[in-house]
A and B are shown apart, each in its own frame.
Chain A
Amino acid sequence: MARTNQKKLARSAVFTQHHPVPRGVVRAVAMKARIIVTPKKAVLDPQGKSVQNALEHMGYQGIGAVHVGKYLEIELAGADGESWRKQIDEACHKILSNPVIEDYKFEIE
């Protein structure tokens, strides 16, 4: 690499200089999927019920049903939001959630 290019790269990548990215890791994370998985309303949620009881026991007023779910964040390479939307939806259906017992929603940005 030419010396000038090296300088330019150094100036534009202060962050990566101090936090070197291991070889093989995708550096250019352009997008992120944020996925929320929750138990279906019809499914018994003993965890949510326990948390609800604890909150009520602590004296919080007006606590309704609590549902405990999962939050997943996935780093995505590239910038093709539409393509990722399709793929993430498929992945949510296939593995990230179990449609028998869970609902999911996600956003990509």
Chain B
Amino acid sequence: MNFAVLQFPASNCDQDALHVLKDVLGQSARFIWHKENSLAGIDAVIIPGGFSYGDYLRTGAIARFSPIMEAVRTFAANGGPVLGICNGFQILCEAGLLPGALIRNRSLQFRCEHVFIKTGNNDSPFTNKIPPGKILRVPIAHGEGCYFAEDATLENLKSNGQILWQYTDAKGELTGPANPNGSLWNIAGIGNEAGNVAGLMPHPERASEAILGSTDGRLIFESLIFWLENKMARAA
């Protein structure tokens, strides 16, 4: 599959994402600079973590107006899968491609640690390879990861199966202490209504090799690859 990893000024997880896609998962992947305006030939888009535009104004607020984001909007509208990781999640929310917003952690602390997440919907392009009930151990590193949305939006997310990941303890319980940032409903990641756009605060690309202490994150990329292969097989 042909993956695009977008690069904004101060993206800093772009290399990690490309490395996992190419070297760990054997996919074709390339960087696309934010000033470009075409995603021709691309099967899936990854918006990586970082501090695009220094997080000025609000996280993701300026990056969403970069030229490439128009192409991402069109790509997503045509059903192309887009995954935003950490700052990428923040950018997708700012762009309105995902509902809600990510605000300052309730603790006001930058949290950098491994957390546990459970998957709320195993039938999405980003979760189909995650065994039902499996608790993933993945790292987070953010200061603005507290997910906020109005009650009606949260109810919609729930009833549409858009809550893809929630912070839990090691046993999979949704507890207060397991929530590292104060996110409403312990939300760690969500999808859009159509299902082809998703974002999450944890970093699956930092949990895709045994040497890094966890390979759970790989399941998210493998889900996406499996979904794309099926999609192409159906189209053929």
Give the contacting residue for B108; candidates A42, A43, A50; CB below 8 A: A50
Contact string, B55-81, partner A, CB cutoff 8 A, digits 1/0?
001100110010000000000000000
Shortest Cβ distance from B89 into chain A, in angstroms? Answer: 14
Give the one of B100, B148, B182 with max A CB within 10 A: B148
A44-B146, A95-B65 known; A100 vs B108 contact (CB < 8 Å): no
A43 touches B61 (CB 8 A): no
Cβ-neighbour of B149 out of A46, A47, A50, A100 (below 8 A): A100
Q: Is the CB of A46 within 8 A of B108?
A: yes
**B62-120 with Cβ < 8 A to chain A:** 62, 65, 93-94, 100-101, 103-108
Question: How far is the CB of B185 from the nearest CB of chain A, in Å?
Answer: 13
For chain B, the count of residues having a C-beta within 8 Å of the partner chain is 20
B26-78 residues with Cβ-Cβ distance < 8 A to A are 57-58, 61-62, 65
Write the A21-38 contact mask toward B (1 if CB under 8 angstroms, else 0): 000000000000000000
Residues of A within 8 A of B100 (CB): 100
State in angstroms the CA–CA spacing of A101 and B150 once bound together. 9
CA distance in complex: A101, B58 (Å): 11
Q: When the two chains form the complex, which single residue of B94, B101, B105, B150 contacts A46, counting CB atoms closer than 8 Å?
A: B105
Contact of B58 among A42, A44, A98 (CB under 8 A): A98
B residues neighboring A (CB under 8 Å): 57-58, 61-62, 65, 93-94, 100-101, 103-108, 146, 148-150, 182
Q: List 5 A-B contacts (CB under 8 A).
A: A44-B148, A46-B104, A46-B107, A96-B57, A98-B94
